[in-house]
């Protein structure tokens, strides 16, 4: 098993930290456990060292380490920082998995006021960006959302390219993109590692954090969300499905639990957007799984659904490129993704293949015909052929799309 995840570059995230270095703003890196947040801090510290920053100017605290288990509240955190602050210049402070410290935002706020410090935080659940933190540090922090390895990162860090890009893609689709597993192919070891991540997220970030008593229900909901990945669902439809399994549960409980799963970064919710009406719709959402390896581990590798898995990969690829990603509704038809940033809007359809029949081709392209604006439209498939565009819609092979950032 690969034991050197720290060697993996994460340039798109590192560049964001570098862009905000020495600015009077807190840098907050969020993401699911083991996606590489600690490694990112290590890479940034290497960058600081190359700039001539001394070791005594750097305070690094990983709150998953027993070394800091006695620092459980903001008073103890502030006291520790105060006693280790660099007196003759700026101190660079890295607080890894800070959500374990009660009221940490109070200490962080005071440190910003009292010392010449540049502060970097990481956390494995979105509760660290609660309303209390947002209020106390309003306008003084930026969030960098981190994900497991993209396919380009995954293939770039392979020790040797022994297989084709397509074969590596199938591995990626099956085992996911957690950095520690990048070169591991023994399923027993992969399953042990994924099981550890899953149990930590569920029981530490969700059950313990929210004092959930009915762990069987949360596990049932996770399995339902994993199996319905990429399908339109609502709290009521989920509650009905679970009720049919001899469990009575109300819609609000389901909605609350789904929010917890999203805040733990194990799921991501995509909402529907009416393209013609230019408004968000309140009913029916889709949920995507942050790492396909986790999904496949829990449901079983034989339960892989290639089309939905492909859609899941494209969804997170778009997020990692900095887009806001919604589900498009145009009349009674659906566009898989509406991706937008401050400069542009793109429309995407994702299909394993559109070459099976003329009807399949028409079905995938029909929603684009109903969109009257002139933003770029794409269809992404596994197909390999010479057709690159149909009626202005660009057709892209998935590997070309993922590898050519």
Q: Are strands 324-330 and 376-381 parallel, antiparallel or unpaired?
A: unpaired
Least confident of 68-77, 127-136, 165-174: 127-136
- Across 173-177, average pLDDT: 95
Q: What is the mean pLDDT of the chain?
A: 92
- Residue pLDDT, tens place only, 66-93: 999 999 999 999 999 999 999 999 999 9
The pLDDT of residue 6 is above 70: no
CB half-sphere exposure, 216, CA atoms < 13 A:
6
The pLDDT of residue 314 is above 80: yes
- Across 286-291, average pLDDT: 98
Least confident of 45-59, 313-327, 335-349, 382-396: 382-396
pLDDT at 110: 94
Q: Which residues of 68-94 are buried (b: 16+ CB within 10 A; e: fewer)?
A: beebeebeebbebbeeebbeeeebbbb
Residue 296 Rama label (left phi>0; alpha psi -120 to 50; beta):
alpha
Q: Which residues of 309-336 are buried (b: 16+ CB within 10 A; e: fewer)?
A: bbbbbbbbbbbbeebebbbbbbeeeebb
pLDDT at 129: 75
- Across 365-394, average pLDDT: 91
Helix (H, G, I), strand (E, B) or coil at 267: strand
pLDDT band for 118, please (50, 70, 90 cuts).
very high
pLDDT at 5: 43
Within the chain, all domains assigned CATH 3.40.50.300 are found at 5-145
pLDDT at 125: 86
The pLDDT of residue 164 is above 70: yes
Within the chain, all domains assigned CATH 3.40.1350.10 are found at 305-405
pLDDT at 133: 67
What CATH architecture does domain 305-405 belong to? 3-Layer(aba) Sandwich (3.40)
pLDDT at 95: 97
Tell me how far apart the alpha carbons of residues 351 and 168 are, in angstroms, rounded to a whole number: 19
- Across 204-208, average pLDDT: 91
The pLDDT of residue 391 is above 50: yes
pLDDT band for 2, please (50, 70, 90 cuts).
very low
Alpha-helical regions (H) of 149-230 = 151-156, 165-175, 187-200, 209-210, 215-227
Which residues are paired to 27 by β-bridges? 120, 142
| Residue 362, token pair as written in the block | 């028409």
Tell me how far apart the alpha carbons of residues 75 and 98 are, in angstroms, rounded to a whole number: 14
Over pLDDT 90: what percentage of the chain?
79
> Is CATH 3.40.50.1820 what the domain over 5-145 is classified as, yes or no?
no
What is the sign, positive or negative, of the torsion defined by CA atoms of 200, 206, 211, 215? Answer: negative
pLDDT at 7: 60
The pLDDT of residue 1 is above 60: no
Tell me how far apart the alpha carbons of residues 370 and 372 are, in angstroms, rounded to a whole number: 6
| Residue 368, token pair as written in the block | 């684009």
Tell me how far apart the alpha carbons of residues 194 and 89 are, in angstroms, rounded to a whole number: 43
Helix, strand, coil percentages, rounded to 5, for the chain: 45, 20, 30
Alpha-helical regions (H) of 201-291 = 209-210, 215-227, 235-243, 251-263
- Residue pLDDT, tens place only, 246-274: 777 899 999 999 999 999 999 999 999 99
- Residue pLDDT, tens place only, 137-151: 777 899 999 999 999
Greater pLDDT, 162 or 193? 193
Helix (H, G, I), strand (E, B) or coil at 347: strand
The pLDDT of residue 114 is above 90: yes
Greater pLDDT, 307 or 386? 307
Could you tell me the pTM of the whole model? Answer: 0.94
Alpha-helical regions (H) of 102-186 = 104-114, 131-136, 151-156, 165-175
Tell me how far apart the alpha carbons of residues 340 and 308 are, in angstroms, rounded to a whole number: 22
């Amino acid at each position: 098993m690969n034991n050197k995840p720290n060697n993996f570059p994460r340039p798109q995230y590192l560049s964001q930290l570098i862009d905000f270095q020495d600015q009077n703003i807190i840098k907050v890196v969020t993401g699911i456990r083991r996606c590489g947040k600690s490694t990112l801090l290590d890479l940034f510290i290497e960058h600081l060292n190359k700039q001539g920053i001394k070791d005594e100017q750097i305070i690094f605290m990983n709150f998953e380490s027993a070394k800091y288990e006695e620092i459980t509240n903001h008073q103890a955190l502030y006291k520790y920082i105060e006693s280790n602050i660099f007196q003759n210049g700026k101190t660079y402070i890295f607080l890894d998995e800070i959500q374990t410290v009660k009221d940490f935002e109070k200490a962080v706020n005071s440190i910003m006021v009292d010392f010449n410090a540049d502060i970097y935080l990481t956390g494995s659940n979105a509760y660290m960006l609660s309303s209390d933190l947002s209020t106390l540090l309003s306008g003084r922090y930026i969030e960098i959302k981190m994900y497991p390895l993209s396919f380009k990162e995954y293939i770039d860090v392979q020790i040797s390219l022994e297989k084709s890009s397509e074969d590596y893609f199938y591995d990626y689709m099956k085992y996911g993109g957690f950095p520690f597993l990048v070169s591991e192919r023994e399923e027993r070891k992969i399953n042990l590692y994924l099981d550890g991540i899953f149990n930590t997220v569920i029981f530490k970030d969700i059950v313990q954090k929210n004092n959930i008593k009915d762990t069987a229900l949360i596990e049932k909901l996770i399995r339902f969300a994993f199996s319905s990945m990429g399908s339109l669902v609502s709290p009521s439809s989920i509650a009905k499905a679970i009720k049919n399994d001899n469990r009575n549960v109300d819609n609000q409980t389901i909605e609350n639990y789904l929010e917890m799963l999203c805040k733990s970064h194990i799921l991501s919710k995509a909402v529907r957007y009416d393209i013609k009406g230019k408004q968000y719709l309140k009913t029916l959402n889709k949920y995507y799984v942050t790492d396909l390896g986790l999904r496949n581990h829990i449901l079983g590798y034989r339960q892989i659904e290639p089309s939905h898995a492909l859609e899941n990969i494209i969804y997170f690829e778009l997020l990692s490129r900095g887009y806001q990603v919604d589900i498009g509704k145009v009349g009674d038809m659906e566009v898989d993704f509406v991706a937008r940033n401050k400069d542009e809007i793109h429309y995407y359809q994702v299909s394993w293949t559109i070459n099976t029949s003329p009807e399949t081709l028409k079905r995938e392209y029909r929603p684009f015909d109903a969109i009257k604006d002139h933003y770029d439209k794409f269809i992404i498939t596994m197909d390999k052929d010479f057709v690159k565009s149909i009626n202005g819609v660009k057709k892209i092979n998935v590997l070309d799309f993922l590898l050519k950032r």
